[in-house]
Amino acid sequence: MSAPILTAGQLRRERLALRARGARDFARRFGRRREGVIGVAILVLYVLLAIAPSFFVGSLETAVTASGGRLEPPGTVHLLGTDEIGRDILNLTVHGARVSMVIGLLATVVTVLLGVVVGIISGFVGGWVDTILMRLTDFFLVLPTFVLALVMTPIIRDMLGGGGEILGVRISLLVIVVAIGITSWASTARIIRSQTLSIRERAFVDRARVIGAGPGRMMRTHILPNVMNLVVANAVLVFAGAVLTETGLSYLGLGDPFQPSWGQILNAADQAGAPGLGAWWYLVPPGASIVLVVLAFTLVGGALDDVLNPRRAGRR
């Protein structure tokens, strides 16, 4: 007895049902990873702070609107103390979350986009294209990412200039996004290329080639969907690295003092002599935020790798 023929509407509903079951299965398996759940909880907190910092602590304090005295310790009025010009540290730290998280997100998008494009093209096309792209990738892999970003940031800043805002971040800060993105894609490209080499040898790719699908279509419809799990897991870890790199660059004075990130707050604390004065409250909140966010991304990335990689999950 032949199977019933489904209409277009029935096929769409069937696909939606399959996706819903897949999402529920993913949520169930991810929920079993306690470290992943903890990481998500931390990230949700900081994402909320980054989305609406003014809702939690009011507008960003400046030298004109500072509400306290110089380097006041934590108390009932200023829960985390004040800086050298009387600004509330809690206020600065919460507003710094938006800058650090947005820069990390944008840098991750640039990094993953470059890495995925280079990795898929290199692995699928092969030949001299693969050779050239992998030699370029090896060049960026050999050079330390932070040192390269440190050298390139002033150059990119001269090219882009400043003024204006995008997503609440001044354009002058986008130089850090560009610097991180174009210096951090190499490892992603290597990972995606290795997966692409495996996928391109599978039967469904051969069938697509036989029926006349072009290289561009095969890379978009057959290769890219099958590396997305790896892309997502890798992007989470890239985000953590981007936040650390942004912190380092801002700490060295390449941030924007008018829209402080966590790294810029640490730079200001160092310039004010907070370590020597014993003003630990100036250093701990932004430092702890950096550690918590990076730890959270690492926990989520590890959990995603376990859930999305059946081989690794089977070995645990």
Q: Where residue 185 sits, what CATH number does that domain have?
A: 1.10.3720.10
67 is a domain residue: no
CA angle 53, 54, 58 (to 5 degrees): 125
76 is a domain residue: no
pLDDT score, position 286: 92
pLDDT score, position 293: 92
Token couple for 111: 């990094």
Structurally, the chain folds into a number of domains equal to: 1
The label of the residue with tokens 């692409």 reads 196
Q: State how far the Cα of 279 lies from the Cα of 273, in Å rounded to an integer.
A: 8
210 is a domain residue: yes
CA angle 282, 157, 136 (to 5 degrees): 105
Q: Which domain holds residue 93?
A: 32-57+83-315
27 is a domain residue: no
Taking CA atoms, 314 is separated from 20, 305, 307, 308, in Å, by 24, 12, 10, 11
Q: State how far the Cα of 176 lies from the Cα of 207, in Å rounded to an integer.
A: 44
Taking CA atoms, 286 is separated from 18, 42, 45, 154, 283, in Å, by 43, 15, 15, 24, 6
Token couple for 42: 């931390």
pLDDT score, position 247: 86
63 is a domain residue: no
The pLDDT tens digits for 209-243 are: 778 777 888 888 888 888 888 888 888 888 888 88
The pLDDT tens digits for 42-83 are: 999 999 998 888 899 888 888 888 888 888 889 888 888 888
| Per-residue pLDDT in tens (0 to 9) along the chain, 316 residues | 444 555 656 666 776 776 777 677 777 887 788 888 898 999 999 999 988 888 998 888 888 888 888 888 898 888 888 888 889 999 999 998 988 888 888 888 889 999 999 999 998 888 888 899 999 998 888 877 777 777 777 777 676 655 555 555 566 677 778 778 888 888 889 989 988 888 888 887 778 777 877 788 888 888 888 888 888 888 888 888 888 888 888 888 777 777 788 988 998 888 888 888 888 999 999 999 999 999 998 888 888 877 776 555 444 4
131 is a domain residue: yes
24 is a domain residue: no
* Stretch (H or E) spanning 11: helix 8-31
pLDDT score, position 167: 52
71 is a domain residue: no
Dihedral (CA of 193, 195, 201, 203) sign: negative
